[in-house]
Amino acid sequence: MRLLIVEDEDLLAAQVDRFLRDHDFVVDIARDGEVGLYQAREFDYAAAVVDLGLPKLDGMALIEALRGEGSRVPILILTARGNWQDKVRGLEAGADDYLTKPFHMEELLARINVLIRRAAGYASAVVERGPLSLDTASKEVRVAGARVELTDYEHRMLEYFAMNPSRVISRAELTDHLYDQDFERESNVIEVLLGRLRRKLDPDGKLRPIRTVRGQGYRFTLGADG
Amino acid sequence: MAEGSGYSLSLQARLALLTAVLLSICLGAAGLVLDRAFNAAVLASVEQQLRAVAHGLEGVAEESGNQLALRPDLGEPRLSQPDSGLYAFVDTVADGTIWRSPSSVTSPGNIGRAPPISRRPAPGEYYFGVAPGQNIPRFVLAYTVVWETVSGEFTFWILADQAPYRAEATALRRYAVIGFGSAAAVFLLMQLAALRWGMAPIRRMARRIRGLEAGTRGDIGSDYPKELLGVAANVNRFAAYERGNRDRYRRAMDDLAHSLKTPLAVLRNAGGEATGATGDLFREQVARMQTVIDHQLSRAGAIRSALPAHSIPAMPVAARIVRALERAYAEKGMTVTVEKSPLAVRVDERDLMEMLGNIIENAFKYGRRRVRISAASTERGVRISVEDDGPGIAEARRELVLQRGARGDVESAGQGIGLAAAAEISASYDGRLRIATSASLGGAALHLMLPAPR
């Protein structure tokens, strides 16, 4: 899943970037508010982490602009200013959560996961879709109680499907959320990955968790009504 | 008196002392003049009396043989009573004493002989003065006459004890002292009352300056007599400057702490990767630095120059925080009741938000499903209560929770210092934060006491 990090402190941004990549996210870093706003408008993100004190356009204005345009991307405020006036203003402006610096990376990861799950409509850390259970914290996947071992990319793909159930997802969107921008888009890596994931989740071909919508993309149907 | 040498009489004491000294000098001088005038009057009166006695004796004197004799009807009864205090005798230079009054007969001492005055008065003259050579103080009057038919100059001596006159003078002096003293006392009291009235604006100013120090006022006002207006304006300017300084200090502390937070976040994240004893040391020290910064920040937040002049209703602020937190804690699906209450508190809005934010977030964190926020008016101010249905805070830990971060220890690092910060801010308003158990919801009940509007 692709995340937008808007943070002007290079070292901190680099640390967050590396940590989130290690935890299977695709990360875009914006160094100022204007770039952040542009990125958020141009690309589809699973969540955005926004520092409040930013050059050019401050975080509060960025959030207000995004919400004003109808964007529903989950936003986590990351700020050194831990006072409540700023926290309340940030949440009122449309942020979904806040984290005060300095913070534990694990805490940041947990908050981001919660925001993504919440946006998909899941209340618990363990996502249940029919016989499939996906623990977003421990990354454990089970089908009908039996554990399924997935590679990083397979897991990323499954999680993205699970977080966007019943919606047709194009190959380009999948690529965006699974790989960095410099990825070779014309290759058939997505199809190969999808085939492997289908075989692991549904070795007998009975569940058919991910269906192909001809000419449009794929739809995750497991646990959906009908 | 050198500047700053400490002891200095109050203005009131100075003026009172000055008045008392001036009053004593004036009244003393007046008393002295009065006393002298009275003494002179008494002496003149005594002389007149004694002359009258002498003329009386002259009147009863008659020729008898070749000598002068006095008839027994002396006219003045005291001359006939022994030891009456009034004595008389008649003598000549040649024959010595030729008559003495019956009053002098039994009197001891020198009565009957001419007192050793410098010279006898010439015929027709009077001598009056204090009689020398007497065993008790006496006035003496001498009067010399020449008789037509009897040869020689006869001197009539009248001696009178001074005691009765002195008693009179003493009594008068006593009356004068009492009268003058009472007048002085009344005058001093009036003077003190006038001083109190006159000094009232200065006392008012002093009282307000104390208020300034205590933080209950922002300035000392300007309702003073024109002599004090300049001082008041200067004090007000200084207070405003001080307030500005404190605000700048608070902002500087805030900026310093916040600018340290991002590098600290970098260090902490880098430390997370380090292993072994060095890694532990690194993490421990970073945690300690963070605790110190958080604590100092909450203290900087508690620096205030004065209670705000205006108050704000507490419940709308609580409701605003609840709405914001409901967003951040959406997945918990808390049911939050914010009681509708018009009660206002005399607290800066930013501080109120800081206190309520920390307390209400605590309830969101530890409550299971329900939070209730209410306000009540008490004798000491307004009590805002935040209750939840969580596990509550054990009695033994309550004190620790409210002081967390104060010692900068590692044990408390990482745990929130929110409640401790709220307690510290409330204390700066002479309020307090108390932890109890919620009777209705079963979890923690946090009672925040804050000053009510004036």
Is the per-residue pLDDT at B414 higher than 90?
no
Using an 8 Å CB-CB cutoff, list chain B residues near A74: none
Residue with tokens 């970098």: B266
Q: Which residue of A has its CA nearest to B350?
A: A85
Percentage of chain B beyond pLDDT 90 is 14
Rounded Cα gap, residues B160 and B50, in angstroms: 8
pLDDT score for A50: 93
- pTM metric for this prediction: 0.59
Rounded Cα gap, residues B336 and B371, in angstroms: 5
Residues B348-371: what's their mean pLDDT?
Answer: 90
Shortest distance between the Cα of B380 and any Cα of chain A, in A, equals: 26
Q: What is the pLDDT of residues B254-288, one digit of tens each?
A: 777 777 877 888 887 777 667 777 778 888 888 88
Residue A206: exposure state from Cβ atoms within 10 A (0-12, 13-18, ≥19): exposed
Rounded Cα gap, residues B137 and A214, in angstroms: 151
Residues B389-418: what's their mean pLDDT?
Answer: 68
pLDDT score for B416: 58
Residues A21-30: what's their mean pLDDT?
Answer: 89
Residues B405-430: what's their mean pLDDT?
Answer: 66
In terms of pLDDT, which residue wins out, A20 or B249?
Answer: A20
Task: Collect all residues from B whose CB is shorter than 8 A from any CB in A.
Answer: 258-259, 261-262, 264-270, 272, 286, 290, 297, 301, 320-321, 323-325, 327-328, 330-331, 333, 350, 353-354, 356-358, 414
Q: How many CB atoms lie within 10 A of CB A99?
A: 19
Q: How many CB atoms lie within 10 A of CB B3?
A: 4
Using an 8 Å CB-CB cutoff, list chain B residues near A96: 327-328, 330
Lowest mean pLDDT among A5-9, B240-244, B391-395: B240-244
Residues A81-107: what's their mean pLDDT?
Answer: 86
Instruction: Confirm whether the ipTM is greater than 0.85.
Output: no
SS (H, E, C) chain A: CEEEEECCCHHHHHHHHHHHHHCCCEEEEECCHHHHHHHHHHCCCCEEEEECCCCCCCHHHHHHHHHHCCCCCCEEEEECCCCHHHHHHHHHHCCCEEEECCCCHHHHHHHHHHHHHHHHCCCCCEEEECCEEEECCCCCEEECCEEECCCHHHHHHHHHHHHCCCCEECHHHHHHHHCCCCCCCCCCHHHHHHHHHHHHHCCCCCCCCEEEECCCEEEECCCCCC
Task: Collect all residues from A whose CB is shorter than 8 A from any CB in B.
Answer: 9, 11-12, 15-16, 19, 80-85, 87-88, 91-92, 95-98, 100-105, 114, 117-118, 123
Residue B72: exposure state from Cβ atoms within 10 A (0-12, 13-18, ≥19): exposed
